[in-house]
Every structure is written in structure tokens, then in C-alpha cells.
Structure 1
């Protein structure tokens, strides 16, 4: 039975997961440095282990609301090709193996606004929506500008 190791997290009242191969770390936060004139989903930048990391508020992406309580939230730092970024989530819950046969493709994947949902894991007592971080980064409006900005910050 083939399985995929995933980091499960909560955003809103729902559970989501990202494949572990994209996850660099899971961090506690107490402060995000805001940067003016960036897209609304981008809360700002944090410095973590010597790296500058743009912080995407996942609740803003999904539900158009901000995560209010930073001290209880978590930052899941993800690496996609040469781009390092973090998604701010309510809670990082667990790392689990999700069998491939439980990962169902659903029709919503074709919808432009949710292309980054790669599957839904239909588990015994819960549904977990699986996120593809590469498609997430590609689908966010203005993210290319942020990637360019981060390159200039790293080289400064």
C-alpha cells in the first residue's frame, strides 16, 4: 500500500495537508514584519534561521479573513523550487501517512480559484484537503513580484 507523508494543519474549521517533502519547518511566531503595498494575503516577512521568509496568511487566501492570534498560530515553512515561503495556519496538527487510494481527485480542482487543491483524503472520520504548494504559489496574484522582491532582499 503506497502512502504519502503529509503535514496536517487547520485553517478555518477545516483540515488541510501538504506533502512533507515541501516542508522545511514548523515554527511558532510572535511577530511578522509588515511590508506596505503587498497583496492582502501577504502578512509580511519574518526572519527565520537567517532566511527572510514571506508569510502568506492561509485563512486570508481561503476565507478572506486574517488569523488574529499569532501566538497560537503556526508558520509552516515550505520550499518550492528556489522559493522559500511560509503559510500562516491556525494549528499544525500532525504528520501522518495518507494512503494513495484514500486521496480522491474532485471536480473542484478544475475551478480556477482552487487549482492548488490536489485531492481530498477521505479518511475514516475526517476529510483532509491536500494542497499542492507549487500550484498554490503559481496561483496567487502578485506572487511573482514577491519572488523577485525576495531575491533582491537575499542578495542585498
Structure 2
């Protein structure tokens, strides 16, 4: 089992089922197109061709007036982040810690990227309250004006790694 970039010639996307139609369809129909267009990078945790879980990361900016007061940046109107666009685990593997493994891999990629190009941390749009609770256990905090848009500063991420 290993982490790697999604390779549609290798990974069996059609067999993936996390129980959420939107997340299944993204992996099966749109993830490769988004990668080819340079919009995102999709990473899978796979055993040979079988995808256990996946997540996507892309560049993103957030209006600074939505950030908590302790991260406001003076005259800048937007702040750089990486967006954890999607994260899902196949139903056969849920409840076994693979979601945690996926998010820690995403943290590692984010930390590496933030050291090279500058980014304040990670943003995620949780699909629902259950997903928001999953992210909050890692220290994600809601942005102002949105209960399911959450952020984790790079400094907090470094302590988790």
C-alpha cells in the first residue's frame, strides 16, 4: 500500500465507492481532467490498482477579512493557502484510520509546498457536520461567516507532523 499521484492508466477508479455519490463521480470522471489542466493534484492511497482513498490539493486564496483576528495580515486583501478539495475513503476501508493517513499525507505535501512557495496553511470545505468534526479533531477552525469552511495554519500543521 502506498501513496502516489492518481494514474488513470493504473488505478481502478470505477470500483471506488466511498458512499458519497459526488466524491465517487469526481474521482471517476473529473479528477484526471482537472490534473491534466493543472487545476489540482489528486493523490491516492492504493494497493496495486485498487484505490483505498484519495484527496485533492490545489492553490487557493482566502480574503483576509475571513481569517481569525490573530492571522490578519494588514494591507493584504487575500492570503495564500492550499485547498484540500476532496478527501474520501472507500467504504470497505472506512473506520480503519485511512482517513487520518490521507490527511497526514496532505499535511506533508502542504508543509513541503509552504516551505518552497509560501502559504499560510490549508483550507477545507467540509461537506457536512460529520466531515467538519473530522477536520476539527486535527485543529481546523471555522473561517468567519462559514461553519463548514475551515482552516489550519501551517504553524499548527507543523506541530502535528
TM category (shorter chain) comes to: under 0.3
Greater strand share, 1 or 2? 1
Greater helix share, 1 or 2? 2
State the TM-score, normalizing by the size of structure 1.
0.27
**Greater relative contact order: 1 or 2 (C-alpha under 8 angstroms, separation 6 or more)?**
1
State the TM-score, normalizing by the size of structure 2.
0.27
